Amino acid sequence: MILDIARLMLFPALMAFAAASDLFTMTISNRVSLALVAGFFVVALAGGMAPYDVLTHVGAGALVLAVTFTCFAMGWVGGGDAKVAAAVALWFGFAHLMDFALYASLFGGALTLLLLQFRQWPLPFGLAGQAWLARLHAKETGIPYGIALALGALLVYPETEWVKAIDLAHLAMR
């Protein structure tokens, strides 16, 4: 029962927090990535994931970490985005990695276009006093890509074995 609740709530809650954090502060705390990694190992071990499967998930996370840190070194993404993407890859493994990458890329492109357009207009007077909105509106500010990562991850998550393993009938009876 507790394992099912963890499968159902932990990953989505952390992804929502990462998106909100990136939107409001343009940063994603290392604690979010560390919680995702720790949560993966707790849920995987408690759920009886085979050691080989754990290693393939770790391999997917390591691959994404290498790619995204290269992007970070080039100045294309933030460090928090790179770490969150790798942590998501750890949860998804290779089975859902390409779906996640596709959705995150599509959401990221749409978010970028939306923000570029938003930054062309002046902020209404009533909203100009909101520090987070002014920061988001500033042309020199980057794109809070954590939002796109979270949307992509939340779109893919229901298709994973994590969710398919949940005994919804058992949870509904409680």
Q: How far apart are CA 118 and CA 114, in angstroms?
A: 6
pLDDT interval class at 23 (50, 70, 90): very high
Residue 95: exposure state from Cβ atoms within 10 A (0-12, 13-18, ≥19)? middle
Answer yes or no: are the C-beta atoms of 160 and 91 closer than 8 Å.
Answer: yes
46-58: pLDDT as tens digits: 999 999 999 999 9
User: In the predicted model, is pLDDT for residue 158 greater than 80?
Assistant: yes
* DSSP codes of every residue in 24-90: HHS---HHHHHHHHHHHHHHHHHTT--HHHHHHHHHHHHHHHHHHHHHHHTTSS-HHHHHHHHHHHH
pLDDT interval class at 170 (50, 70, 90): low
pLDDT the model gives residue 168: 63
